[in-house]
Chains A and B, each alone.
Chain A
Amino acid sequence: MPSLGADMESGVLVQWLVQPGQQVKRGQVVAVVETQKGAVEVEIWEDGLVDRLVVQPGTRVPVGEVLATLAGAGAPPAAAPAAVVAPAPAVAAPPSIPTLRPPPPAATRVKASPAARKRAEELGLDLTAITPTGPHDIIAIEDVERAAKARAEQPPPVVKPPAPSAEGLAAMRQAIGAAMARSKREIPHYYLGTSIDVSRARDWLTAENLKRSVKERILFAALLLRATALALKEVPELNGFWIDGRFQPSDAVHLGLGIALRGGGLIAPAIHDADKKSIPEMMAAMGDLVQRARAGSVRSSELTDATVTVTNLGEQGIETVYGVIYPPQVALVGFGKIVERPWAEAGGLYVRPVLHATLSADHRASVGHRGALFLAALDRLLQEPEKL
Chain B
Amino acid sequence: MTRDEIRREVIDALSRVAPEGQYDRLKPDRPLRDQLDIDSYDFLNVIVHLHATLGIDIPEADYGKLSTLDATVAYLAAKLGA
- Contacting pair A156 B18 (CB below 8 A): no
Report B1-45 CB contacts with A as 1/0, cut-off 8 Å.
000000000000000111110000000000001000101110011
Q: For B52, list chain A residues within 8 Å (CB).
A: 155
A315 contacts the other chain (CB 8 A): yes
Question: Given the known A-B contacts A219-B40, A219-B44, A315-B39, are A158 and B60 also in contact in the complex, defined by CB atoms under 8 Å?
Answer: no
- Contacting pair A217 B41 (CB below 8 A): no
A290 to B40, CA, bound (A): 12
Question: Given the known A-B contacts A160-B19, A206-B60, are A290 and B37 also in contact in the complex, defined by CB atoms under 8 Å?
Answer: no
Q: For B79, list chain A residues within 8 Å (CB).
A: none
- Contacting pair A155 B48 (CB below 8 A): yes
Chain B positions 49-63 with a Cβ under 8 Å from a chain A Cβ: 49, 51-52, 57-61
A155 to B49, CA, bound (A): 7
Question: Given the known A-B contacts A217-B44, A219-B44, A287-B41, are A210 and B60 also in contact in the complex, defined by CB atoms under 8 Å?
Answer: yes
- Contacting pair A214 B41 (CB below 8 A): no
B47 contacts the other chain (CB 8 A): yes
- Contacting pair A219 B58 (CB below 8 A): no
Taking the closest CB of chain B, its distance from the CB of A266, in whole angstroms, is 13
Partner of A315, one of B17, B40, B48, B59: B40
Report A241-273 CB contacts with B as 1/0, cut-off 8 Å.
000000000000000000010110000000000
Taking the closest CB of chain B, its distance from the CB of A385, in whole angstroms, is 16
Question: Given the known A-B contacts A156-B48, A215-B48, A290-B41, are A163 and B58 also in contact in the complex, defined by CB atoms under 8 Å?
Answer: no
Taking the closest CB of chain A, its distance from the CB of B2, in whole angstroms, is 24
Taking the closest CB of chain B, its distance from the CB of A37, in whole angstroms, is 20
- Contacting pair A262 B20 (CB below 8 A): yes
Q: Which residue of A lies closest to B13 (CB)?
A: A158
Q: Which residue of A lies closest to B46 (CB)?
A: A158
Q: Which residue of A lies closest to B57 (CB)?
A: A214
Taking the closest CB of chain B, its distance from the CB of A53, in whole angstroms, is 36
Taking the closest CB of chain A, its distance from the CB of B62, in whole angstroms, is 12
A158 to B53, CA, bound (A): 14
A267 to B78, CA, bound (A): 40
- Contacting pair A217 B60 (CB below 8 A): yes
A221 contacts the other chain (CB 8 A): yes
A315 to B41, CA, bound (A): 10
Q: A161-B19, A220-B40 are in contact. List 20 more A-B contacts (CB 8 A).
A: A155-B49, A155-B52, A156-B45, A156-B48, A158-B16, A160-B16, A206-B60, A210-B60, A214-B48, A214-B51, A215-B48, A215-B51, A217-B44, A219-B41, A260-B39, A262-B18, A262-B37, A263-B20, A286-B41, A315-B33
Interface on B for A, CB 8 Å cutoff? 16-20, 33, 37, 39-41, 44-45, 47-49, 51-52, 57-61
Can you name 22 A-B pairs with beta carbons within 8 Å? Answer: A155-B45, A155-B48, A155-B49, A155-B51, A158-B16, A158-B45, A158-B49, A160-B16, A160-B19, A163-B20, A209-B60, A210-B59, A214-B47, A214-B48, A215-B48, A219-B41, A221-B41, A263-B20, A287-B41, A290-B41, A315-B39, A315-B40
